Amino acid sequence: MSITLDRPPRGTAHQSAPSPPPWWRGRKAQGWAYAAPTALIVGVLFVVPLILVVWMSLHRWPLLGPATFNAPDNYTKIADNPLFLDAVVFTLKYTVIITVLLSAVALGLALLVQERRPGVGFFRTAFFLPGAVGFAAAALLFYGMLNNEFGPIDPLLQSLGITDEPVKWIGTPDAALFSTIALVLWRFAGFNMLILLTGLQAIPVEVYEAARSDGANRWQIFTKITMPLLRPTIALMLILSVTGSLLAFDQFFIFTNGGPDNSTVSMVMVVYREAFFRFDLGGAAAISVVLLVALVALNVLQMRVLRRSR
């Protein structure tokens, strides 16, 4: 994190008034008054749940009925949960594939539309527009678009002679993963492109001009100037992509429904199933704590790398 708080100099005009203001008119109390809603929301809806999730994970906590202390059962039984272990493997695989593809596609798009030329604004908007659609809506859109009877993709591919018969888009584990990747790329490529564009725009034009006058060709400019200067932005994009993918839920819940044969069950889907299908909130909380610790550790690690690459 690069945020540093600068302390404003104490006292402004009104403090030079003849009589000292009562304590509750002082800047400290006023500052607290303005920050109070923030503190209330963060305290009640963030800090308390953070403590509660740990507390819950130490108890047998059914959806209905009283909780009883049972630590560390909820944690030890995670190791015996084959659905979760499979989900870990699947989610990691998905995260690697998505992060690589998404970064590549986003970088390609960003490089295509980084320069000012006629019509480039339209293309930027076109690439980003899927990102304005909600992810749930996007998943349902693909659900219809890839349907064999209703969707346009199968007739299109067949009329082009690419396929002979309707493809089972979510009928086999590999196809379901492939289709989900297509959905996620469509929905998020523009979003990541926008992140990269902000980085590209921050590179001063003079640097490029200097390189060009030194006789550098386009490939040299890309590898020696653009990429090194873009590293912090790329690192940020990777953090967002990795975190987002590890917590994937909507795409698998809505689009593949975890199928076929539980082959596309993500880690967060297991949390949801434990809580609301098996009514075991304690077990769901224990998995949540494990995910939480892993992801915070990963975030801290990535932040370190990000900071070093600045």
Partner 1 sequence: MRATRYYTTVSALAVLFLFPLVWSGWASLEDPGDYLEMARFGEGLGTYLTNSALVSAMTVGGTLVVSALGGYAFARFDFPGKNLLFLATLAILMVPYATILIPLYVLLGHLGLQNSLVGLSLVFVMFQLPFALFMMRNAFEAIPRELEEAALVDGCGTFRAFSRILLHAVRPGLITVGLFAFLASWNDFFAPLILLNDGASFTLPVAVVSMTQRTFGAVDYGMLQAGVMTMAVPCLILFLVLQRHYVRGFMSGALRG
User: According to CB under 8 A, which residues from 145 to 174 bind partner 1?
Assistant: 145, 147, 149-152
Rounded-to-integer distance, Cα 214 and Cα 211, Å: 5
**Nearest CA among 112, 115, 126, 272 for reference residue 186:** 126
How many residues in the shown chain lie near partner 1 by CB under 8 A?
Answer: 95
254 lies in the binding site for partner 1 (CB under 8 A): yes
Q: Report the relative pairing of strands 59-60 and 68-69 from DSSP bridges.
A: antiparallel
Under the binding rule (CB under 8 A), the answer on residue 50 touching partner 1 is yes
Establish if 2 lies at the interface with partner 1 (CB under 8 A).
yes
Specify the DSSP element, H or E, that contains 69.
strand 68-69
Q: Given candidates 90, 94, 143, 169, which one binds partner 1 under the rule CB under 8 A?
A: 143
One residue of 112, 210, 301, 305 binding partner 1 per CB under 8 A: 112
Q: Contact with partner 1 (CB under 8 A): which of 93, 123, 222, 223?
A: 123
Minimum CB distance to partner 1, residue 169 (Å): 14
Provide, rounded to whole angstroms, the least separation between the CB of residue 216 and partner 1.
19
Three-state secondary-structure class, residue 280: strand
Q: Which of 68, 125, 220, 223 binds partner 1 (CB under 8 A)?
A: 125
State which residue, 26 or 173, has the beta carbon closest to partner 1.
26
Can you read off the two tokens belonging to residue 49? Answer: 């749940």
Q: Which is nearer to partner 1, 210 or 300 (CB)?
A: 300
C-alpha 106/C-alpha 104 separation (Å) is 6
Residue with tokens 């009589």: 19
Identify the CA nearest to 234 among candidates 188, 189, 195: 195
Distance in angstroms (rounded) separating the CA atoms of residues 86 and 163: 32
In this complex, which beta carbon is closest to partner 1, that of residue 82 or of residue 119? 119
- Part in contact with partner 1 (CB under 8 A); list of ranges 43-51, 83-91, 168-176, 206-214: 43-51
Q: Of 127, 169, 188, 252, which one interacts with partner 1 (CB under 8 A)?
A: 127
Q: Residue 166 to residues 102, 158, 178, 263, 268: CA-CA distances in angstroms?
A: 27, 8, 15, 21, 31
Question: Smaller CB distance to partner 1: residue 177 or 248?
Answer: 248
Binding to partner 1 by residue 130, rule CB under 8 A? yes
Name which position in 81, 172, 243, 263 contacts partner 1 (CB under 8 A). Answer: 243
Q: And the tokens for 247?
A: 């917590």
What does R_g of the chain's alpha carbons equal in angstroms? 26
Interface with partner 1 (CB under 8 A), residue from 92, 132, 210, 305: 132
